[in-house]
C-alpha cells in the first residue's frame, strides 16, 4: 500500500506487537513485515521464551526500532514501560502461548510482554499458538473465555500441521489473516463507524445448462477493495459477491451466482443499509430456458440460445419497485468502451444515483483483474442536481476505493 503517491489510511498509526514463546514466533516476523508495509509504526516486545526461537535483531531490522526484551531494561525500567505501552493504538500478542494467555488472564505484569499488555489502554488482539492438547485443556479454554470477556479479541487458531508433527487445532492464524484483524481494529473509529455498507462484486454467472454459464470478465477485485476500504473506515460491511475469497473480519460475505440471486440478496440486505455500492457486473440477459441436462454437441450442428432480460437492481431501486428500500446513498459503476462520460452521466440520471464511478474498458481487457484502475467519479450536487466530474489518477484499487468512499462519507454527512 505504501507504493504510489497516495498516503496509506494507516500512516501515522502505531502497533505494539508482543511475541511470546513458540515455534510460531518465526511467523511473527512475516506479520511485522506486513504491518510495516501498511505504513504502520511497529514496536516489538519479546518474552524470554520468544528469544529462544528468534532473535530481536530480526524485528529490529524490519521495524527500524529497538526491540523491548526486559522489564528492567535501563531504557524501559520503572514507569517507562507504561509510557511505551500507552503510545500505541493497538496491541497484538502473536503468537500467544498457553502460558502467556494464563498470565494475561490473571493480570500478571512479571515480564515485558505482560507488563506492556496490562499497562496499555489500547485494544488487544490475541493470536494463540500451541499444541491441540494444550488448546483443548479446560484451563486454556477458561483463559480464552476470560480474555474475551475482558474485551480482548481472540484470533482463532487454525487446524493443520503442528510443531510436534501431529495434525490438529492450534496453529497460529496466518500473518495475512492477523493483519486483517489489525486493519479492522484500527479502522473501528473511522469516518464510516456505525454505518452499514452493502457492496456487490464480481460478474454474475447465468446457467445455460448444469455445466455451463454465460458470464463476463469482471474479477470482483474492485468490489472487494471497496468492501475492505469501507471496513477499514469503521463500517459494518456486507459483500454480495460471485467471487470466492479469503474471509475478512468485519465483512459478511453473501455468495451468489446469478443476477436473480444477487437481486434477491441485495433486496434482503437493503433495509439495514446506509449505502449501496453496486460494483458488480450484473448480466443484463440470461438464457431464457436453461437446459436441465448437459447440452450435447452431437445432437445439434449449431446452437442458438434465446436470452431474456434480468432484473436491473439499480433501476428497481430508482423506480421504488415493490419491496425495494432505497438507502441514503446509492453508488453505481459504469464500465464503457466508448463515450465514457456521456454514458456514465446517462446512467447516473436514469438510475437516480448519487454517484457513479466511470471506468474505461480497453481492447486489452483492462482493467479486468488488474491491480490498478483510473476511475472518473461523477456525482450530483446542488439544488439543480448538476453533476461534478472528478477524474482520478491511475491508482491501485484500494486507493481508488478510498477516494470513492471519501465521497460516500461526505454524502452520508459523516
CA distance to 190, 220, 224, per residue, from 201 (Å): 23, 5, 6
Least Å distance between CB 242 and ligand CTP?
12
97 lies in the binding site for ligand CTP (CB under 6 A): no
**Of 62 and 278, which has the nearer Cβ to ligand CTP?**
278
Q: Which residues contact 83 (CB under 8 A, 6 or more apart)?
A: none
Beta strand 355-360 with 372-373 is unpaired
User: Which member of 236, 335, 400, 405 binds ligand CTP (CB under 6 A)?
Assistant: 335
User: Which member of 25, 208, 227, 282 binds ligand CTP (CB under 6 A)?
Assistant: 282
Q: Which backbone phi and psi does 232 adopt, to 5 degrees? A: -70, -10
312 lies in the binding site for ligand CTP (CB under 6 A): yes
368 lies in the binding site for ligand CTP (CB under 6 A): no
Least Å distance between CB 281 and ligand CTP?
6
User: Which member of 25, 45, 71, 313 binds ligand CTP (CB under 6 A)?
Assistant: 313
Q: Please choose, out of 62-70, 159-167, 276-284, 381-389, the segment that lies near ligand CTP by the rule CB under 6 A.
A: 276-284
Concerning whether 99 is annotated as a catalytic residue, the answer is no
Q: Please choose, out of 9-17, 103-111, 240-248, 307-315, the segment that lies near ligand CTP by the rule CB under 6 A.
A: 307-315
**No. of H helices and E strands in the chain?**
14, 21
Contact 396, 375 (CB under 8 A): no
Least Å distance between CB 368 and ligand CTP?
13
End-to-end C-alpha distance for the chain, whole angstroms: 25
Q: Answer whether the bond into residue 367 is a cis peptide, omega within 30°.
A: yes
Record the cell numbers describing residue 48, joined without a space: 524470554
The residue written with cell numbers 437492481 in the block is: 313
270 lies in the binding site for ligand CTP (CB under 6 A): no
Beta strand 251-255 with 236-241 is parallel
* Residues between 181 and 240 with contacts to ligand CTP, criterion CB under 6 A: none
Least Å distance between CB 145 and ligand CTP?
43
Q: Please choose, out of 26-34, 54-62, 231-239, 332-340, the segment that lies near ligand CTP by the rule CB under 6 A.
A: 332-340
Contact 312, 281 (CB under 8 A): no
333 lies in the binding site for ligand CTP (CB under 6 A): yes
Q: Which backbone phi and psi does 160 adopt, to 5 degrees? A: 170, -155
User: Which member of 332, 368, 397, 411 binds ligand CTP (CB under 6 A)?
Assistant: 332
Least Å distance between CB 313 and ligand CTP?
3
Choice among 99, 216, 379, 384 that is catalytic: 216
The C-alpha angle 305, 306, 311, rounded to 5 degrees, equals 125
- Among residues 194, 168, 177, which one has the least CA distance to residue 125? 177
Round to whole Å and give the CA distance between 92 and 89. Answer: 10
User: Which member of 334, 358, 405, 409 binds ligand CTP (CB under 6 A)?
Assistant: 334
Which residues here bind ligand CTP, judged by CB under 6 A? 259, 278, 280, 282, 284, 310, 312-314, 332-335, 347
Question: Which positions are catalytic?
Answer: 216
Amino acid at each position: 500500500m505504501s507504493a504510489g503517491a497516495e498516503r496509506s489510511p494507516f500512516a501515522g498509526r502505531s502497533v505494539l506487537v508482543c511475541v511470546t514463546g513458540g515455534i510460531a514466533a518465526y511467523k511473527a516476523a512475516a506479520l511485522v513485515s506486513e504491518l510495516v508495509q501498511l505504513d504502520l509504526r511497529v514496536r516489538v516486545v519479546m518474552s524470554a521464551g520468544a528469544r529462544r526461537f528468534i532473535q530481536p535483531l530480526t524485528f529490529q531490522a524490519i521495524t527500524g526500532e529497538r526491540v523491548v526484551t526486559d522489564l528492567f531494561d535501563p531504557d524501559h525500567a520503572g514507569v517507562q514501560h507504561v509510557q511505551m505501552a500507552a503510545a500505541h493504538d493497538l496491541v497484538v500478542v502473536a503468537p500467544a502461548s498457553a502460558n502467556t494467555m494464563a498470565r494475561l488472564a490473571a493480570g500478571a505484569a512479571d515480564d515485558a510482554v505482560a507488563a506492556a499488555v496490562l499497562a496499555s489502554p489500547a485494544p488487544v488482539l490475541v493470536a494463540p499458538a500451541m499444541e491441540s492438547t494444550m488448546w483443548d485443556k479446560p484451563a486454556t479454554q477458561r483463559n480464552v473465555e476470560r480474555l474475551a470477556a475482558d474485551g480482548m479479541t481472540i484470533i482463532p487458531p487454525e487446524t493443520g500441521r503442528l510443531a510436534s508433527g501431529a495434525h490438529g487445532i492450534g496453529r497460529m492464524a496466518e500473518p495475512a489473516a492477523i493483519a486483517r484483524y489489525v486493519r479492522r481494529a484500527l479502522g473501528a473509529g473511522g469516518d464510516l463507524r456505525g454505518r452499514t455498507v452493502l457492496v456487490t462484486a464480481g460478474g454474475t454467472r447465468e446457467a445455460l445448462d448444469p455445466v455451463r454459464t454465460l458470464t463476463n470478465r469482471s474479477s470482483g477485485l474492485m468490489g472487494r477493495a471497496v468492501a475492505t476500504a469501507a471496513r477499514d473506515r469503521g463500517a459494518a460491511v456486507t459483500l454480495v459477491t460471485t467471487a470466492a475469497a479469503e474471509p475478512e473480519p468485519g465483512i459478511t460475505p453473501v455468495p451468489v451466482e446469478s443476477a436473480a440471486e444477487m437481486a434477491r440478496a441485495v433486496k434482503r440486505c437493503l433495509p439495514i443499509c446506509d449505502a449501496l455500492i453496486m460494483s458488480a457486473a450484473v448480466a443484463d440477459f440470461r438464457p431464457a430456458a436453461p437446459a436441465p441436462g448437459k447440452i450435447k454437441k452431437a445432437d445439434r450442428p449449431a446452437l442458438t440460445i434465446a436470452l431474456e432480460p434480468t432484473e436491473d437492481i439499480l433501476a428497481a431501486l430508482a423506480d421504488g419497485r415493490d419491496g425495494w428500500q432505497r438507502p441514503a446513498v446509492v453508488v453505481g459503476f459504469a464500465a464503457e468502451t466508448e463515450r465514457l462520460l456521456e454514458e456514465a452521466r446517462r446512467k447516473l440520471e436514469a438510475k437516480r444515483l448519487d454517484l457513479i464511478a466511470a471506468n474505461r474498458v480497453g481492447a486489452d481487457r483492462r482493467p479486468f483483474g488488474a491491480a490498478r484502475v483510473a476511475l472518473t467519479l461523477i456525482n450530483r450536487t446542488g439544488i439543480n442536481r448538476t453533476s461534478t466530474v472528478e477524474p482520478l489518477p491511475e491508482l491501485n484499487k484500494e486507493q481508488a476505493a478510498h477516494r470513492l468512499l471519501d465521497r460516500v462519507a461526505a454524502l452520508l454527512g459523516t
